[in-house]
Amino acid sequence: MAHLVNYIYIVSAALFILSLKWMNTPATARRGVFAGEIGMLMAVTGTLLAHHVFNWEWILSAMLIGTAVGIPIAYIMPMTAVPQRTAMSHACGALAAALVGTAEFYRDPNQPKYILVALMIETLLGFLTFTGSLMAMGKLQEVLPQRPITYKNQNVINFTLFAIAAGLGVRLIVVPTDTWIFPVFAGLALLFGVLLIIPIGGADMPTVIALLNSYAGLSACAMGFVLDNKMLVIAGALDGSSGLILSIIMCKAMNRSFANVLFGAFGQIQTKAAHAEQRPVRSASPEEAASILEAASSVIIVPGYGLAVAQAQHKIRELFDALTRRGVDVKFGIHPVAGRMPGHMNVLLAEADIPYDRLFEMDDINGEFGQCDVALVIGDNDVTNPAARTDNTSPIYGMPILDVDKARTVMVIKRSMNPGFAGIDNPLYYLDKTLMLFGDAKAFVSEIIKELPARVAA
């Protein structure tokens, strides 16, 4: 039996790889989830049955609690809160890895050196990802301020702290019997996680979430080394590489490096640029907006985080339907970092029942703005800022953007002229062809929809 479980693990690992492979298109993605579930079920039951497991009451009650907590999270959580949930699950995964490592260390500190090395990596990454993810979750839930929290010599202090933690880890590897050092080591890792994330602003969350994903995976992977379980190594490596790829995509989409995201305190630097002179803008009423949209033959809608905040996705869907019925070609242009996590906008629009073949990535849609009548920007700012192309003094210069300024008419739904989160003024708003639609995204879109049928009747 004990041998059999190792073969079960091999099958599980294969299922995990298939699971991710099937995620490549929406057509096979649900099969992928199913494969993952089967792999998980096999691995867990195999483990429970094959080994001489004691303390069943502890294990089963923990599983019961986990299930009881997990089911409501999965079904009640609104789609707008998915970034928070993801941050929370990074925290849970990292905590589990860190605690298993801790228990393993106290069970027997006198293990081969390479196991201790893996164990220290597991616990260090696990603990810092745990608190880091909690901070990210707090920022996303807006319990904590979304703006970067900075103080003097922040990077020096953080680096020193990390160096001390790593140093203690090395010391524990060399002299593992000094177990009293371990709590200090763990405490420093927990503290470092907090300090690492608080200087990062809300707009950088997609990268941070992806990076924390990677850390949580690597921590689980290190656990595989500690317990000499190859399936854990594989599952952890898959998660780690997934997080890594996503964070690279996010960094590229912002034209920034990892180091810049983690240690640059983005929003802080840019507040200097916030005090631009007041220039005149053209604004329009819902009626005017409705008549322009109706007269258009092609419209590209560019959604951003503001859409999630205003919960406007279902109203957008109504607008989409109303315009489509009138023969207007409506597409959505989605920037990789729109929203608060990779793919955030796609999920929101899919939730509102917008067909996914109408959602286009930046590179696929950018060529079409030139032929498009109206670009409608909803709750997005920096990713539409033409200064990224033209103004080499702008903090976002070089960042790939959606070329909405090439459309014949640009409409921007925005609460006020206050600069967005990063505090960068957007020249797009002052163009002659730009109409500012001031108001709450959801309310304004409803107004537009109300105006549309009235015009048909007239």
Q: Per CB under 8 A, which of residues 38..67 are in contact with another protein?
A: 39-40, 43-44, 47-48, 51-56, 58-59, 61-63, 65-67
How much of the chain is helix, strand and coil, in % rounded to 5? Answer: 70, 5, 25
Distance CA 323, CA 298 (A): 10
Cβ at position 216, least distance to another protein in Å? 6
Q: Does 403 interact with another protein (rule: CB under 8 A)? A: no
On whether the CB atoms of residues 316 and 301 are closer than 8 A, the answer is: yes
List the one residue from 4, 7, 49, 77 that touches another protein (CB under 8 A): 77
Using CB under 8 A, which residues numbered 253 to 292 contact another protein?
none
Distance CA 398, CA 273 (A): 17
Distances (CA, A) of 336 to 185, 311, 367: 37, 20, 16
On whether the CB atoms of residues 83 and 205 are closer than 8 A, the answer is: yes
* 329-367 burial code (b ≥16 CB/10 A, e <16): ebbbbbbbbbbbbbebbbbbbbebebeeeebbebeebbe
Residue number, 25 or 153, with CB nearest to another protein: 25
The single residue of 382, 403, 405, 425 carrying the catalytic annotation is 382
Q: Does 302 interact with another protein (rule: CB under 8 A)? A: no
Which x/- pattern over 102-141 shows residues binding another protein (rule: CB under 8 A)?
xxx-xx------x---------------------------
List the one residue from 136, 223, 413, 449 that touches another protein (CB under 8 A): 223
Look up residue 75 and give its amino acid. Y
List the one residue from 144, 191, 227, 269 that touches another protein (CB under 8 A): 227
How big is the chain by its Cα radius of gyration, in Å?
25
What is the total count of residues that contact another protein (CB under 8 A)? 111
Using CB under 8 A, which residues numbered 88 to 107 contact another protein?
89-90, 92-93, 95-97, 99-100, 102-104, 106-107
In order, the DSSP letters of 274-311 are G-PPP----B--HHHHHHHHHH-SEEEEEE-HHHHHHT
Using CB under 8 A, which residues numbered 337 to 376 contact another protein?
341-344, 346-347, 350-351, 353, 355-359, 361
List the one residue from 190, 233, 376, 441 that touches another protein (CB under 8 A): 233
Phi, psi of 358 (to 5 degrees): -100, -5
Residue number, 140 or 246, with CB nearest to another protein: 246
List the one residue from 127, 225, 305, 421 that touches another protein (CB under 8 A): 225
Distance CA 140, CA 143 (A): 8
Q: Does 231 interact with another protein (rule: CB under 8 A)? A: yes
List the one residue from 6, 7, 21, 142 that touches another protein (CB under 8 A): 21
Active-site annotation holds for 382: yes
On whether the CB atoms of residues 349 and 359 are closer than 8 A, the answer is: yes
Which x/- pattern over 235-254 shows residues binding another protein (rule: CB under 8 A)?
xxxxxxxxxxxx--x-----
Distance CA 44, CA 38 (A): 10
Active site residue ranges: 382
